[in-house]
Structure 1
Amino acid sequence: MVDPVQSDIHGDLPAAATKQGMVDRKELSAFAFQRTRMPIVVSDARQPDFPIVLANDAFLHLTGYTAEEVLGRNCRFLQGEATSKTAIAQIRAAVAQESETTIEILNYKKDGTPFWNQLHISPIVDEQGELAYYFASQIDMTEYRRVQTLEEAEHRLLLEVDHRTKNVLAIVDSIVRLSKSDNAASYAASVQQRVQALSRTHMLLAEHGWQEVELADIIRAQVQIFNSGGIEIEGPRVMISAPSAQPIGLALHELAANAAVHGSLSQRKGSLRISWIQTGSGLTLTWEERNGPPPKQELGGGFGKVLLAAVVEKQLGGKISRDWREHGLSLVIELPSLDRVGHRLQERP
């Protein structure tokens, strides 16, 4: 019977011609294996530790090794310090089960350069159905992963910018709605001052990579523009997360502006002490004005008080307690959970 595969190629050629054709096919197969652009190796499954017996030019070019350095070795020489133990275990299991597998694994070239390898392993059996070799192809996924990572980072950045923009615009919207004045110029000035306060905290966050910023730095940014000599700031190191930093900064601006216009910072000998402590899982901030005039107005005639309440109570879920003393305002802001305003409170070194 004529082999149907051979018949397709040779028809009814003589046996000698058919034999020559088989030789040619083997040579062509070897040539194709060697010249294919996909890196390929073949390991002998009948020898201990499955040594490599064939490696094409593409594999040598990818890894930087010579044929002499590759042949006779197990493929694990491509593994390195950061190669995933889980990926190695998956490969080991596939080999033990004599099954195919495809996995991305971090490998290393001869010069130590890491690369992401999409490795495909497939068993090859002989005529008796016994495992004889393992075929392994490699695809360098490093550039693809780099582009994918950049795209994912860009996507996350756009989402973060969108979130931050919405957060800032919500605060600006509150400023515009809650700032009131019968005089257009006065109204414009009050809005501008509050937006500038927002900007000061915004700059702090930008300097710290939009991760978190110290509470003490937020306080200084908002109060020291009015008076730096008579202000005392004291408390443990508290890191405030980005979403909460701007509303806290705006609240402190309202208090500082009121103190500068109506309170202790409006007096030459006036002083201000701002302190905070941890209270359970939350934070308590105390604002104490001293040597100020007798209280006449509370937070700029009322709308400052409304804005402060909106920021502290509605946005941050906190509570405000006021005590109008003869020589200045004593105010306590209680924030119920550090998770709402930050995530770390540390003692100062």
Structure 2
Amino acid sequence: MDEKDTSNIHGDRPAAVTADVIPDWKELAATAFQRTRMPMVVTDATREDYPIVLANEAFLRLTGYDANEVLGRNCRFLQGESTSAAAVAEIRTGLQEDREVSVEVLNYRKDGSAFWNQLHLSPIHDDNGRLVYHFGSQIDRTEYRRIQALEASEHRLLLEVDHRANNVLALVDSIVRLTRSDDAALYAAFVQKRVQALARAHSLLSRRGWHEIPLRETILTQIEPYGARRAVLDGPEILLVPHAVQPLALFIHEMAVNAASHGSLSREIGQVTISWKDIPQTNGFALVWEETGGPPPPTFRRPGFGTVIAEATIRQQLHGSADREWSEGGVKVVVEVPNVTSAR
């Protein structure tokens, strides 16, 4: 691997160290990195495709690879056929935007066995602010998820269900029925991401005391993991009644995942414009999702599965309309939803 001077990365000594070990702290830090039980890697952010330049023993044990099979490669070799495209898009967006990323992703060991990886990525800059490395830590969440699934099954009948939960349960039912995959792990990942979108909306409602929620805030909550910095939001203040927040959040989530995985947000120059206007006569609103700067539109322009779910949510859950059209710049979706706004 190429050698480089790392002495100036965030100073010459750590934030906390006793005076008697200052001469040896770099050696101690390297030993700690190598011997810690948490899997860790460091990738070179200055070289093409971010190759791994350091991998500790815990990482090699977790993945089953030897050091010579890991060094110099991009971490994507851990991905497989059931790895969530949404999780990969979330990682890619974080790297592009030079920020920390924490995401749970399905990865694969050398022997082909799958494991759930709680991945945390952090950018490392030198004293001049130049990005030089990415630090990645992994936590094997497979056993935790298995236990969590068992506990959820055992306690399902103990969950409190009130009138606010009815709308959520209807949405989850739609997700389970509409999500399709022949692979059980991929199916689980798809369902999980959509339920997480509902959970984010639920948290927003909870913070607001289940009162009216601004449309702008509902949108931002869902696009944040997939490239909010490259989304332009334009529209007046509109307050949504609580029962409309989660279905609309699911629609935005599906559109954002599609954009990050296959559309405009999958390219650095891509952008999404989300605009809306009030329709007082129907107590509703019209919203336009328009993508530009993405890959060329497909020759056979059949809507993707996520788009199908998004539009089905608008029609079935919110009793609105959704129309889609393609241009050279990307897809444009126009929706109208009645009876969901509150008087300001």
Tell me the TM-score normalised to structure 2 length: 0.50
| Matched position secondary structure for 1:174 | helix
The match for 1:285 is 287
Is residue 285–residue 341 contact of structure 2 (8 Å, CA) maintained in 1?
Answer: no
Following the alignment from structure 1 to structure 2, what is the Cα–Cα distance between the partners of residues 187 and 265?
23
Say if 1:202 and 1:242 are closer, same or farther in 2 by CA, change over 3 A: same
| Matched position secondary structure for 1:343 | coil
Q: CA deviation at 1:162?
A: 1.0
Q: CA deviation at 1:223?
A: 0.9
Is residue 201–residue 221 contact of structure 2 (8 Å, CA) maintained in 1?
Answer: yes
Is residue 258–residue 307 contact of structure 2 (8 Å, CA) maintained in 1?
Answer: no
The unaligned stretches of length 5 or more in structure 1 are 1-159
The match for 1:217 is 217
Following the alignment from structure 1 to structure 2, what is the Cα–Cα distance between the partners of residues 180 and 298?
21
Q: CA deviation at 1:300?
A: 10
The match for 2:276 is 276
Mapping 1:304-343, distance limit 5 Å: 304-335=306-337, 337=338, 340-343=339-342
Say if 1:237 and 1:228 are closer, same or farther in 2 by CA, change over 3 A: same
Say if 1:176 and 1:318 are closer, same or farther in 2 by CA, change over 3 A: same
Please provide the CA RMSD for this pair.
2.1
Higher relative contact order, chain-length normalized (CA < 8 Å, sep 6+)? 2
The match for 2:202 is 202
Q: CA deviation at 1:261?
A: 0.6
Following the alignment from structure 2 to structure 1, what is the Cα–Cα distance between the partners of residues 214 and 180?
31
| Matched position secondary structure for 2:206 | helix
Is residue 223–residue 252 contact of structure 2 (8 Å, CA) maintained in 1?
Answer: yes
Following the alignment from structure 2 to structure 1, what is the Cα–Cα distance between the partners of residues 280 and 309?
27
Following the alignment from structure 2 to structure 1, what is the Cα–Cα distance between the partners of residues 300 and 270?
17
Q: CA deviation at 1:228?
A: 2.2
Question: 1:170 aligned to 2:170?
Answer: yes
Following the alignment from structure 2 to structure 1, what is the Cα–Cα distance between the partners of residues 299 and 247?
23
For 2:290, the aligned partner's letter is E
Deviation string 1:114-152 (CA, Å, 9 cap, x unpaired) is xxxxxxxxxxxxxxxxxxxxxxxxxxxxxxxxxxxxxxx
Q: CA deviation at 1:161?
A: 5.7
The match for 2:95 is none
| Matched position secondary structure for 1:342 | coil
Is residue 276–residue 283 contact of structure 1 (8 Å, CA) maintained in 2?
Answer: yes
Is residue 238–residue 278 contact of structure 2 (8 Å, CA) maintained in 1?
Answer: no
Say if 1:311 and 1:280 are closer, same or farther in 2 by CA, change over 3 A: same
Q: CA deviation at 1:310?
A: 2.3
Is residue 272–residue 291 contact of structure 2 (8 Å, CA) maintained in 1?
Answer: yes
| Matched position secondary structure for 1:190 | helix
Following the alignment from structure 1 to structure 2, what is the Cα–Cα distance between the partners of residues 321 and 200?
26
Q: CA deviation at 1:181?
A: 0.9
Q: CA deviation at 1:234?
A: 1.2
Following the alignment from structure 1 to structure 2, what is the Cα–Cα distance between the partners of residues 242 and 183?
35
Deviation string 1:244-264 (CA, Å, 9 cap, x unpaired) is 100000011011110011100
The total of aligned residue pairs comes to 183
Is residue 212–residue 342 contact of structure 2 (8 Å, CA) maintained in 1?
Answer: no
The match for 2:71 is none
Computing the radius of gyration over CA atoms, which structure comes out larger, 1 or 2?
Answer: 1
Following the alignment from structure 2 to structure 1, what is the Cα–Cα distance between the partners of residues 220 and 195?
17
Tell me the TM-score normalised to structure 1 length: 0.50
Q: CA deviation at 1:311?
A: 1.2
Mapping 1:1-349, distance limit 5 Å: 162-281=162-281, 282-296=284-298, 302-335=304-337, 337=338, 340-344=339-343
Say if 1:229 and 1:298 are closer, same or farther in 2 by CA, change over 3 A: farther
Among all aligned residue pairs of Structure 1 and Structure 2, give the percentage whose two residues are the same amino acid: 46
Following the alignment from structure 1 to structure 2, what is the Cα–Cα distance between the partners of residues 164 and 186?
30
Following the alignment from structure 1 to structure 2, what is the Cα–Cα distance between the partners of residues 166 and 189?
23
